Amino acid sequence: MEKKLEIAHFTDPLCFWCYAMEPEMRKIRVLLGEQLDYRIVMGVLSSDISEIIGHDEDSELRYEVYRAMLTNYFREVSKMVGMPLSLDNMLAHGPDDLVSLPLSLAYCAMKMIDEDVAEAYLRRMRECVFAEGRSLSSVEEQVDLAAEFPIDAGQFRDNLDSPEVATVLQEGVDECRMYGITAFPTLIIKWGDRRIAAQGYHTFEELKQAIAQVTEGDITLSDAEFSTHALESYVDRFGKAAAREIQTMFSLNDAQLANVMMDLVSTGRYKTQSCGTSYFALPK
């Protein structure tokens, strides 16, 4: 059996830097193809709002201060990251929308049905929160989102209400604890008996170097060649791709990106969807 590179991706639905690193992760997965054994390990950034703002008469004031801090922070990092971000809508909700536990459980409820659909659901949760500024803190909002996918929404709701969903999440939390992982994203990259950890946001070049290091040069990633067919295949594979993801995938500068996006839309088979600070491309 051919040896595969293994990547365990430790993550959380409300982790902004996990969302920011999606262009790099998609590029690695496309380039490696069948050489890669990739899996998501779900963690929990926050399980109770009191962990963030306390639970006393000053909690509301602390939330306003915290929200102002997040606003300034996201304004700065969004310029660097380039993924669609709807900042005003994202921070217009209440404190409960800062708690990631319900979303982590929702991912696990979907995983109990289908692991591939769960990954797509995780991506949609991030798009909803960061790009569209939607709240997903309630079960009803999570079930409404699940209806976008070819699964039994009733089964999804039942899974959310079952004790088993907490057990599934706990498996991921226990694995995080086993490796001492307290920050997301964290990648554990394994090649045979060799392994390396990459914590936090990394550029494609940095991840490329980490893969070359752990494989001792057995895997050296090269940039993807651009063609209209390659671009269409990329968008079709994921169903929806941010402009930054396309730019990262094909190593395009801003002018090249603008040109290829115009060409893509001119085929009549694709469209763009504006979201906050940027936009997505998707099939019509």
pLDDT tens-digit profile of 229-247?
A: 999 999 999 999 999 999 9
| Average pLDDT over every residue of 126-143 | 95
Domain span(s) for CATH 3.40.30.10 in the chain: 5-179
The CATH number of domain 5-179, selected from 3.80.30.20, 3.40.30.10, 3.30.1360.30, 3.30.420.40: 3.40.30.10
pLDDT-derived band at 195 (thresholds 50, 70, 90) equals very high
Percentages helix, strand, coil for the chain (3-state, rounded to 5) are: 55, 15, 30
Neighbouring-strand partners of residue 273: 280
pLDDT at 1 over 60: no
Q: Which amino acid is at 236?
A: D
| Average pLDDT over every residue of 98-116 | 97
Report the chain's mean pLDDT, rounded to a whole number: 94
CA angle 151, 184, 175 (to 5 degrees): 75
Residue owning tokens 């839309």: 265
Q: Give the closest residue to 62 by CA, choosing from 49, 53, 70.
A: 53
Residue pLDDT, tens place only, 12-58? 999 999 999 999 999 999 999 999 999 999 999 988 877 777 777 77
In terms of Cβ atoms closer than 10 Å to its own Cβ (0-12, 13-18, 19+), residue 131 is buried
CA distance linking residue 186 with residue 267, whole number of Å: 39
Please state, as a whole number, how many other Cβ atoms lie within 10 Å of the Cβ of residue 120: 16
Q: Give the closest residue to 81 by CA, choosing from 282, 280, 278, 281.
A: 278
Residue pair 189/5 in contact (Cβ under 8 Å)? The answer is yes
CA distance linking residue 46 with residue 44, whole number of Å: 6
Domain span(s) for CATH 1.10.10.10 in the chain: 228-283
**Could you tell me the pTM of the whole model?**
0.94
Cα separation values, 155 from 58, 114, 149, 152, 277, Å: 40, 11, 12, 5, 36
Contacts of 171 (CB under 8 A, 6+ apart): none
**Residue 65: which region, alpha, beta or left (left: phi > 0; alpha: psi -120 to 50)?**
alpha
What local confidence, expressed as pLDDT, does residue 146 receive?
98
| Average pLDDT over every residue of 138-166 | 97
Class of 228-283 in CATH? mainly alpha
